[in-house]
A = this chain, B = another copy of it.
Amino acid sequence: MKYCYGVDVGGTTVKMGLFDETGNILEKWEIVTDTSNEGQAILPDIAASILEKKECRHLKKEEILGIGVGVPAPVTEEGIVRGSANLGWKYKEVKGELSRQTGLEVAVGNDANVAALGEMWKGGGAGEKNMVMVTLGTGVGGGIIIEGKMLVGQHGAGGELGHVCVNYEEKDHCGCGNQGCLEQYASATGIVRLARKKLETDSRDTLLKKETVTAKAVFDAVKAGDKLALEVAEEFGRYLGYCLANMAVLVDPAVFVIGGGVSKAGEVLLPYIQNPYKERAFFANKDVRFVLATLGNDAGICGAAKMILDAVQG
């Protein structure tokens, strides 16, 4: 049996997993992300943890196929990052550096793309090779999988669907500097923004007036039959569903996998996205399935493991 490591580098912790070559997770662990000093210790810390685990388990070098790494930044095909605000990195040759520090094969990808690969391998998209993952968290991220491979793009910025413009009339600015980005309507913070705007001008009684407005509170209220919350969910879903219809006509996926914190609302979420999607989808794309992500926080390490397995096994 051979083995590989899957590594998911976040701004607070680095999640790590040891996998066998058939994809079973043998062990998961975390280390702290040391972002001080432009994040210079991050890769050496990862290398040390990987080598320690190798020693503990008495693994031989030739038994280890390599290390897959997801990082919160655009990554080129050559494994180079030109800056990551979350990690403090400037220009960094992630693949080259980690490979030298461990003596192992390394593959590097953007964390959202890598998580999408994980969901295709063992999660909501299992069995498909053309897939789009939509991560509805604090922001909106995404990953596009074509013929089983991540769409990386020229600048490593493929699949950034949070920054598709969905409303040219928007006056508020997105974090990216543009106006009307999907993220302003479909992220957890975007949903709160939609709810607050409605509460400002709407005098109806609603569960949302009784507590702090969060995305979770909105979907809890939807489940309880709250009319105003339902209208917020419809507005959220219309922006997202219409956007995914435009995306489908370009990349033609078999399935949309919906993940991230907002997706914890569960199956209740899907019709709000799928109905406006169907209303606007090109005829060839009407039957695309919508499913929830299933791997949660493990999507990153799973996708990272799959990425290195694909790289070394071809």
Interface residues of A (CB under 8 A from B): 74, 77, 128, 130, 144, 146-147, 151-161, 163-165, 168, 176-178, 242, 245-247, 249-254, 280, 282-285, 288
Contact = CB atoms under 8 A, between A and B. Distances in A.
Given A177-B283, A282-B163, A250 B247 contact: yes
A278 to B, nearest CB: 12
8 shortest interchain CB distances as A-B pairs: A153-B252, A157-B284, A154-B254, A130-B154, A158-B252, A163-B282, A157-B252, A164-B246
B250 A168 contact: no
A161 B282 contact: no
Given A130-B153, A160-B249, A247-B250, 16 more contacts: A144-B250, A144-B251, A146-B146, A146-B151, A147-B152, A151-B151, A154-B288, A156-B252, A157-B284, A161-B249, A164-B249, A176-B282, A176-B283, A178-B280, A178-B282, A250-B251
A135 to B, nearest CB: 14
B250 A284 contact: no
Contacts of A168: 242
23 contacts: A77-B147, A128-B154, A144-B250, A144-B251, A146-B146, A146-B151, A146-B152, A146-B158, A151-B252, A154-B254, A157-B282, A157-B284, A158-B250, A158-B251, A158-B252, A159-B250, A160-B252, A161-B249, A161-B250, A163-B282, A164-B249, A165-B242, A178-B280
A157 B159 CA distance: 18
A253 B157 CA distance: 9
Total copies of this chain within the assembly: 2
Given A177-B283, A178-B282, A250 B156 contact: no
A159 B45 CA distance: 42
Nearest to A132: B250
Contacts of A284: 74, 155, 157, 160
Contacts of A156: 252
A284 B81 CA distance: 13
Given A77-B147, A130-B153, A164 B250 contact: yes
Contacts of A147: 77, 152
Given A176-B282, A242-B168, A284-B74, A155 B252 contact: yes
B250 A250 contact: yes
A245 B177 CA distance: 14
B157 A153 contact: no
Contacts of A154: 128, 130, 252-254, 288
Contacts of A146: 146, 151-153, 158
Contacts of A152: 146-147, 252
Given A146-B151, A168-B242, A280-B165, A249 B285 contact: no
Nearest to A153: B252
A280 B245 CA distance: 20
